[in-house]
Structure 1
Amino acid sequence: MKALLPLLAALPLSSFLYLSPSAPAPKYAVADIPAALREGAHAVLRADDEVVTIKSAGRLVHTVHRVVTILDAAGDDFGRHSVGYDALNAVSYLRGAVYDADGRLLHQLRPAEVRDQGMGDTGGSFMTDVRVRYADLRQPQGPYTVEFDYEIVSDNTLFYPDWQPQEEEGLAVQSATLRVNTPTALPLRYQERQLPAGTTVAHTTAGSQETYQWQLANLPAVDDEEVAPPLAYSTPAVVLAPAAFEVQGHKGTAASWQSFGQWNYELNAGRDQLPPATLAKVAALVKDAPDARTRAQRIYSMLQGSTRYISVQLGLGGWQTFPASSVASNGYGDCKALSNYTKALLAAAGVPSYVALVGAGSDRPDLRADFPSSQFNHAVLCVPMAQAGRPDTLWLECTSQTNPFGYMGSFTGNRHALLLTPQGGQVVATPRYGAAENRQVRRVDLFLDAVGGATATARTLRTGQEHDFYSQLLHELGPAEQKKYVTDRLRLPTFTLTKFNLAATPATPTPGVVETLGLSLPGFAVPSGKRVFINANLLSRLPALPAQIGERQAAVWLPRASLHADTVRLHLPAGFRAETLPAAVQFSTDYGTYACQYQSLPDGTVQYTRHLELKRAQMPRTAYAGYLDFRRKISIADKAQVVLLKTES
């Protein structure tokens, strides 16, 4: 041993660590990642090995082994992991370790380092048994590698785990596998999405068990590209669903939308009874209502004025509603309970309706109608009725105290929902909002002075989905916060906001918000000799997009149709006239249409009008070059300048 000491002393510290009998052998060295996977990546998924074992119609086990190398600070979020659990889903274990760039173990996660937090601890309005186990292995600097292992035992087989290893932009995938073991008596339902060419499932049967296995490897990172679809539509995935399932003794099947809806309807049947006092209140409220729509509107106003929303996720309570009598007594409920309560109120007023399940969220993918499964996170109410002798359908968002009557908006509009009827589930479309509904109409009066200053008034009406965010500002923030938000986003070099107001408009035919601004613009158009150069498009300029770097990867998704119409009046100072007006511009493409023109009016003002209609569309990635050109042309036209000439000294 003495003879070895000088040699050991001469070795670098890293070599000494390798020779230590207690140190594990290095693994997951960054150098072992192919260069092509590191290119453009913030993190690399080294391994994602998932096993789903179906034990019975009411139980499954999901085990995960996940290894991620974080290459830079933008990938740090992958250095932590959380696993949710509740009364129906138990976490058997959560283990973890972190390694340096050479694959040497830095730290083994200790049980005391795993945080356990209830979802209700976040301060939201929750009634939930959902908790989270959370581990954080982030390091001060990269690259480094984290490894997590965990297992979930679920007694809620309504949900099978989905598998989409490439879950975020900037994440490359070196290796990922999914294996599903299921009894032959419980055949697996699955849907493959966006799998690379040649990727096939390996399906084997041994006795009474079937095994399905998928494997992915060497997927380069996906860039965050302009007007790209959600990753759910662009990266490889396998979605799983049961045929037969059981939740706390309630058996059902998801083999069809009809059967899945039937299970949900029967789960909530008989929970729509109202107390006598509430029935009497409804009768008095609607006794002189001339038609069903008026009765529904009065009921909706009553709902908004007497209830509030809470989230309920207590075991089966995630699917089974509070009784309507409970909402009537307590004045609160989740989306299911409030929709069921409103359904009961409408029934008491002689207006039939149906609860509908929907995947809500402005950026949430639409229902995959070709794969019956639980794809929902929200419930609304559908009210079929006849209007002026023709079929009509009214939709009600029952969780909001401020939502306009009959308006779905960005949250639940323009998608499909599952109607729950006594005969089972039925896929239907929620209201569609196009350019006719989603409008922004702006009038600006710009008053110029002789030394280059200006003042302006602007009135902007936003309707439909164009109004949704501003409606949220109106109802959730005070006037000072509203003003600050708008001020921070005005793209003007130097200005003072002298007047500000937001106000809702009557919801006919679609709801809207009117924004009124007063602006002081010092140095807005300083004369250059005898001329003044003015960009008349004060508030509505649409910038060009940066050129595509490298080959476009994603399809082109234009998620919202809209119409923007602007009228700007330039009020000239004494002694000035319009010398040059830009030429009119007009063009039409697959992406939308654009037109603008300028004219001198008899009263000496200059009027600028602009019309931009954007289409809702999904196009192949090859269409992106055309979209870039469309935006470039708009940007050029929006920057055109009016030239004024000083005619008096």
Structure 2
Amino acid sequence: MSLPMRFSSLFLLNTGICLTTALAAAAGGKEPHYPVATLAPALRENAHAVIRTEEETLLVKSAGRTVRTVRRATTVLDEAGANWATQLVYYDQLSSVSYLRGTVYDAEGQAVRQLRASDVKDYGLSDGFSLATDARGRVADLRQPSYPYTVSFEYEVVSDNSLFYTTWQPQSDEQLAVEQASFRVLTPASLPLRFQERHLPKGVAVAHSQQGDLQVYQWELTALPAQEEEPYGPPLSEMVPAVATAPTTFEVQGHRGSLTSWQDLGLWNYELNTGRDVLPEAVQARVAALVKDAPDERTRIRRVYDMLQSSTRYVSVQLGLGGWQTIPATNVSNTGYGDCKALSNYCMALLKAAGVQSYCALVRADEPDIRTDFPSNQFNHVVLCVPLTKAAKRDTVWLECTSQNTALGYMGSFTGNRHALLLTPGGGQIVCTPRYGAAENRRERRADVYLDAQGSATAMLHTRRTGLEQDQFSQLLHGLDPAQQKKRIAESLPLSNFSISKFALTDDAKAAIPTINETLGLTLPQFGTPSGRRVFVVPNLLSRLPAVSAPVGERQTDIWLASAFSHADTVRIHVPAGFQTESIPAPVKLTTAFGTYSTQMQTLPDGTLQYVRSLHMPRTRFPRTEYPAYVEFRRKINAADKAQLVLVKTES
């Protein structure tokens, strides 16, 4: 499920809308609330909206129940900040709401409108593949046609799911400033709070006190200017203040657990699903026959994985505890479908029948990696981990059980290069999923370009992509028909005038790492630029890396190069009869901490011109002071990628 950035933090809601006496009095316009004129100029700078006040409280009633109250007033400065005049609230069978209130104030701070039932729409939050889900959301909409104005929302939520506590991050969007925000947690001494402070301003720390029988933890932030993600910088969550919280003890629908360590969380998940991996006898017999002549452990795993992929499909069932407890393997065997938990559990059961031990693993997929130093439920996906215990060389095979076409052992960009929580009988263990660096993420292209005297050309290209470089193309191959594939490829080419004469995508099932091969025939009416007796040609056909802009003012964040890759291009230009080379680009070689780059052009014995380009980039991080050097590195690559050769017509 993908939602707009403003809605990425979901708030729980279940019942109706209440309007308070205080809000009604404010509607009379006798006392201004949040007049825009009182905003400090520094908070308006580079901001589309400003949180005037946010007061959030989490009350821990017991190990299985929490009450969360939020009061937030936000001044919307322009149309780009209008999402802050809406509120998406999530609810399900484990949550209920006490009230929701809302009011709009004009620029002078006078109340002009209150939240009405017609301002709120209720939606089922279907993700497009769930067979059954109790997830629903209500969107309260108080957007106004003219700016600026201020919107206030208040609500109280009761939750019977204490596995998740709040992560407080009031500055949750770019171009959002914060005037004042506070966060309180009240919890019994028998249920002490676990928390982690992140990027708090100097001098800001928790205030710890006691209120009756409750321990009180409180944080307050003021005057936070708007932030903006910088090119090749970290995500916003690495820049803005936040406090993550988690329970020590929790309970979900009668299932109690401890969350003081990764081992505890893994043990709760493991025990919740114990005994749900039983297979029908007929299926066990089928597996035994399937692997009886398998020569080794890896072959047994491959055969079982092929069986899983050919007989199941991903359909999510999320009802109550179904977010954590799997459908039994027998059900998956009978129906042929399941969610990530169910399919991983089913594959684990199939492997067990084949004599192979495996373990389910929790992972945060398609998002930044978990914080391993703060044990808490940070996961959204389940995969399967298979240690090779009988192989000559110890190894681990990872299986993505929700896909019908993902290669054995491949995690890709979805779940690779991150940490996972292995669920074992002894509890949870933090482990690493497969890492994909420049050696695995390769793109190798060979092109033959046949040029005519007018500068037009035809080209035949063969491209081999491996690892993360092939992920997007694998989705095209397995998700679209050839005509749609060709259309997507055409839209991605950095060419202004061309047509495709030949096209094919294939995968290489025998490759050690997933590989996609592409064959592409192109007609290029304006590949070269004629001028009198000369034709000017850029030999770099498709691999031009753009330059990056220098920062306006001082850069604030580190340089994050998140994707490692290796590109190699060989372009052979077949010169038309009656032409010879007048000049070719000088060779370039750049060796830096950011990566290495080289180009070279030479004339082959048959008169063909051969252009060779290579670019290797690591996955790494540099201090912000290195950004000017990185800008220069990219500028030099961009200039070299656009370098021209000159052909001249010989005298007759």
Assess same fold via TM > 0.5: yes
Q: Deviation at 1:471? A: 0.9
State the distance in 1 between where 2:556 and 2:112 align.
37
Deviation at 1:21, TM superposition (A): 9.1
In the alignment, structure 1 residue 251 sits paired with structure 2 residue 232: no
CA distance, structure 2, for counterparts of residue 564 and residue 214 of structure 1 = 48
Give, in whole Å, the separation in 2 of the partners of 1:182 and 1:509. 53
Quick one: distance in 1 between partners of 2:100 and 2:362?
A: 33
Counterpart selection for 1:409 from 385, 409, 412: 412
What CA distance in whole angstroms lies between the structure 2 residues aligned with 1:592 and 1:231? 25
Asked whether the equivalents of residues 557 and 617 of structure 1 are also in contact (C-alpha less than 8 Å), the reply is yes
TM-score (norm 2): 0.94
Counterpart for residue 648 of structure 1: 651
CA 1:355/1:140 → structure 2, altered by over 3 Å: closer, same or farther?
Answer: same
Correspondence for 2:556 = 553
* Pair 1:458 & 2:461 matched: yes
Contact 1:46-1:173 within 8 A present in 2 as well = yes
Find the counterpart in structure 2 of residue 536 from structure 1.
539
**Partner residue, 2:245:** 240
Matched ranges for 1:291-330 at <5 A: 291-330=296-335
Partner of 1:599: 602
* CA deviation after TM superposition for structure 1 residue 139, in Å: 2.2
Q: 1:35 to 1:327 in 2, by over 3 A?
A: same
Aligned to 1:80: 86
Amino acid at match of 1:547: A
2:627 aligned to 584, 601, 624, which one?
A: 624
Q: Is residue 119 of structure 2 the alignment partner of residue 105 of structure 1?
A: no
Aligned to 1:61: 67
Superposition pairs for residues 467-478 of structure 1, below 5 Å? 467-478=470-481
Letter in 1 for 2:523: S
Deviation of 1:346 (Å)? 0.1
How high is the sequence identity, in percent, across the aligned residues?
60
1:567 matches 2:570: yes
- The structure-2 alpha-carbon separation of the partners of 1:539 and 1:387, relative to structure 1 and needing over 3 Å to count, comes to farther
- The one of 186, 189, 206 aligned to 2:194: 189
Do residues 156 (structure 1) and 149 (structure 2) align?
no
Matched with 2:124 is 118
2: distance between equivalents of 1:304 and 1:147? Answer: 50
Residues 576 and 648 in structure 1, CA contact (< 8 A), matched pair in contact too: no
1:14 aligns with: none
Matched pairs, number: 628
Decide whether aligned partners of structure 1 residues 237 and 20 sit closer, same or farther in structure 2, where only a CA change above 3 A counts.
Answer: closer
In 2, the alpha carbon distance for the partners of 1:305 and 1:534 equals 49
Secondary structure (helix, strand or coil) at the match of 1:517 reads: strand
Which residue of the partner structure matches residue 5 of structure 1?
Answer: none
Higher mean Cα deviation, 140-149 or 272-281? Answer: 140-149
Spell out, residue by residue over 1:355-383, the C-alpha distance to the aligned partner (whole angstroms, 9 max, x if none): 0000000xx12121111110100000000
Aligned mate of 1:274, from 272, 276, 279:
279
- Alignment-derived partner of residue 394 in structure 1: 397
What is the one-letter code of the residue matched to 1:391?
A: R
In structure 2, the partner of 1:43 is: 49
Alignment partner for residue 132 of structure 1, among 129, 137, 145? 137
**1:137 & 1:487 partners in 2: Cα distance?**
42
Equivalence for 1:520: 523
Aligned partner of 1:93 among 92, 99, 106? 99
Measure how far apart 1:20 and its partner are.
11
DSSP 3-state at the match of 1:467: helix
Question: Any conservation in 1 of the 2:529–2:537 contact (CA below 8 Å)?
Answer: no
Separation (CA, whole Å) in 2 of partners of 1:25 and 1:476: 59
**Deviation per residue, 1:485-543 (Å, 9 max, x gap):** 22222221211122222222225211021222211111221321222211101100001
One-letter code aligned to 1:607? Q
User: CA offsets per residue over residues 237-285 of structure 1, 9 Å max, x none?
Assistant: 1000001111111111110111111111111101110011111111111
1:180-204 Cα distance to aligned partner (Å, 9 max, x none) = 1011111000000111111111111
Cα distance, 1:596–1:53 mapped onto 2, change above 3 Å: same
Residue 102 to residue 206, structure 1, CA distance change in 2 (3 Å): closer
Task: Classify 1:80/1:410 alpha carbon distance in 2 versus 1 (closer, same or farther; 3 Å).
Answer: same
Q: Judging changes above 3 Å, is the alpha-carbon distance between structure 1 residues 251 and 547 closer, same or farther for their aligned structure 2 residues?
A: same
* Aligned partner of residue 529 in structure 2, secondary structure: coil
Contact 1:569/1:608 (<8 A) preserved: yes
Q: Distance in 2 between matches of 1:74 and 1:125?
A: 33
> Is contact 1:463-1:513 (8 Å) kept?
yes
Residue 393 of structure 1, CA deviation:
0.2
Where do 1:361-510 residues align within 5 Å? 361=366, 364-386=367-389, 389-506=392-509, 508-510=511-513
Q: Which amino acid aligns with 2:245?
A: L
Structure 1: which 5+ residue stretches go unaligned?
Answer: 1-18
**Residue 71 (structure 2) pairs with residue 71 (structure 1):** no
Matches within 5 A, 1:203-222: 203-222=208-227
TM-aligned CA deviation for residue 207 of structure 1? 4.0
**Which residue number in structure 2 is paired with residue 16 of structure 1?**
none
Moved more, 27-36 or 592-601: 27-36
Q: 1:45-98: per-residue Cα shift (whole Å, max 9, x none)?
A: 212210000001111111111122222222222221111011112122222222
Say whether the 8 Å CA contact 1:598–1:606 is kept in structure 2: yes
CA shift in 2, pair 1:92/1:481, >3 Å:
farther
Whether the 8 Å CA contact 2:229–2:236 is kept in 1: the answer is: no
Give the letter aligned to residue 428 of structure 1. Answer: V
The separation in 1 between residues aligned to 2:222 and 2:508, in whole angstroms, is: 54
1:30 paired residue among 14, 17, 36? 36
Deviation sequence 1:158-216 (CA, Å, 0-9, x none):
10011011111111111111011011111000000111111111111244211011111
Report if the CA contact (8 A) 2:27-2:112 is conserved. no
In structure 1, distance between residues paired with 2:385 and 2:263: 17
My pick for the range that moved more, 212-221 or 200-209, is 200-209
Distance 2:488 2:145 in 1: 34
Deviation at 1:105, TM superposition (A): 2.2
User: What code does the residue aligned with 1:289 have?
Assistant: A
Query: Retained in 1: the 8 A contact 2:33–2:110?
Result: yes
Question: Could you tell me how far apart the structure 2 residues matched to 1:519 and 1:623 are?
Answer: 40
Distance in 2 of aligned mates of 1:529 and 1:588? 39
Distance 1:478 1:48, change over 3 A: farther
How far apart in 1 are the matches of 2:540 and 2:601? 11
1:266-314 CA deviation, whole Å, 9 max, x = no partner?
Answer: 1110111001111111111111111111111111111111111122221
Q: What does the per-residue CA deviation read over 1:367-402, in whole Å, with 9 as the maximum and x for residues that have no partner?
A: 211111101000000000047522100000001111
Q: Partners in 2 of 1:387 and 1:566 — Cα distance?
A: 41
How many angstroms apart in 2 are the aligned matches of 1:325 and 1:124?
Answer: 21
SS in 2 for 1:577: strand
Residue identity opposite 2:199 in structure 1:
Q
Amino acid at match of 1:233: E
Contact 1:533 1:642 in 2 (8 A): yes
Instruction: Answer whether contact 1:37 1:219 (CA < 8 A) is retained.
Output: yes
Q: Distance in 2 between matches of 1:475 and 1:505?
A: 13
With over 3 angstroms needed to count, the CA separation of the structure-2 counterparts of 1:232 and 1:454, relative to structure 1, is same
User: In structure 2, the residue corresponding to 1:78 is in which secondary structure?
Assistant: helix
- Contact 2:287–2:353 (8 Å) recurs in 1: yes
* Corresponding residue of 2:14: none
Alignment partners' CA distance in 2, 1:197 and 1:222: 17
- RMSD between aligned alpha carbons? 1.6
* CA deviation map 1:409-440 (0-9, x unaligned): 00000000000000000000000001010011
Give the distance between the partners of 2:369 and 2:467, measured in 1 at CA. Answer: 19
> Which letter does structure 1 place at the counterpart of 2:525?
P
Aligned equivalent of 1:168, options 164, 167, 173: 173
Secondary structure (helix, strand or coil) at the match of 1:261 reads helix
